[in-house]
Amino acid sequence: MSDAKLGTVLSSLSQVARQLDVLLSDKPAPDASCVKLNTNENPFPLPTVIMQSAMAALERQYLYPEDDNVSLRQAASEAYGVSKDQVIAGNGSSELLGLIYRAFLVPGDSVAMMSPGFSFNRKLASLQGAQFVEVEWGQDHSLPVEQLLLAPAKNAKFILLANPNNPTGTFVPVADIERLVSQSDRMIVLDEAYVDFAPDNGLHLINCYPNLLVLRTFSKSYATAGIRVGFGLGHPEVIGRLRNLQNVFNMNVIGHAVGISVLGHRAAYAENHKHIKHERQRVTMALSKLGFSVIPSHANFLLARVPAGQEGSWWQAALERQKILVAFFPDAGLENYIRISIGTKDEMDEFLEAASDIAGTAKETIPLCRPSAAAASALTNR
């Protein structure tokens, strides 16, 4: 294609599309031999009964999946004690987030998010040409209700907060969230991706407040990150319009089958969740002895401040050299932190052994490093 024709094509793009960076294809494939603790996946395979449902679904792969996810939504309604009209099913909760942004925002609008938070929301806002307002968490990671009710957050079409929060792992009392929802007339999107590792949840509030939309995903607590199953739960008038925005056949037959099976066998994950909570505490204590300052977590990961005088990017690179992958965030205020997903006991032992070796070396040489290109791509996917 000639430069002139390419220029014509590019000029025909929407203003938002013209402002996007061109994604390059030189990113290397992940090293399968690495211990992968950077994207908050569940480290265990599916329980046998769930795996059997996935294999059975493969026999129907030549058929389109069920339109509007009717059976999956019905299973979710029974499991969560809500009506089917209060449930939307998605190809992971990230698809549902995208629908929410499309439904509520037009260019020039604004959306508010607690910060630090799930960084993918910044991209979703930019795709709608919307302003992204970040409101800092209160002291000790409390929810600043009054601040969220005032400008600039007051002008936002909706407020997004995660509980437990990513990347901090912190949890705020559901009573504080209810206070915000009850005093606000805007939509509050409550992302509960990690709620199965936490002491409480806000799902019961959707029957009291039409301006609350709760998101759930099976990627973290139910080991389906590669299958993509998520839910939105809220008022039927809101949910029904979001469903009308979805692509036809947005989920596949395996996702349907696995989602229905998980909803019917959640007790099969009890030991899985118990392990993650135990390892979370064990690794917290071990890192503290190495000079890290670990934020108390109610998720399946830890956000840890590296020892004094060192940088998060240096630690990420040092661990990667030992084939341990953790996440680093170049965002202001997070430069001296790394985020570690909780894996199996063996994986966490490997991580702690590497961290101990690196800590001993770092005492001799205090690094003065700039974040690498790899480190600058913060891994906060759902």
Q: What is the pLDDT of residue 363?
A: 64
The two three-digit tokens of residue 216, written as one number? 């759930």
Distance CA 66, CA 55 (A): 17
pLDDT tens-place string over residues 57-113: 999 999 999 999 999 999 999 999 999 999 999 999 999 999 999 999 999 999 999
Q: What is the pLDDT of residue 58?
A: 94
Give the Cα-Cα-Cα angle 209, 215, 220 (nearest 5 degrees). Answer: 150
**Neighbour count for residue 70 (Cβ, 10 Å):** 12
Distance CA 367, CA 358 (A): 12
Nearest CA-CA partner of 160 in 204, 195, 110: 110
Decide the pairing of beta strands 337-341 and 324-325: unpaired
Contact status, residue 184 vs residue 157, Cβ threshold 8 Å: no
Q: What is the pLDDT of residue 232?
A: 98
The pTM (predicted TM-score) of the whole model is 0.91
Q: What is the pLDDT of residue 365?
A: 54
SS3 355: helix
Sheet-wide strand order for 230-233: 87-90, 230-233, 212-217, 187-191, 158-162, 110-115, 131-136
Distance CA 238, CA 226 (A): 28
Residue ranges and CATH numbers for the domains of the chain are: 31-44+270-362 (3.90.1150.10), 48-264 (3.40.640.10)
The two three-digit tokens of residue 117, written as one number? 């938070």
Distance CA 215, CA 203 (A): 9
CA 86 to chain centre: 22
List of the chain residues with pLDDT < 70: 1, 362-382
Which amino acid is residue 79, in one-letter code? A
Q: What is the pLDDT of residue 367?
A: 44
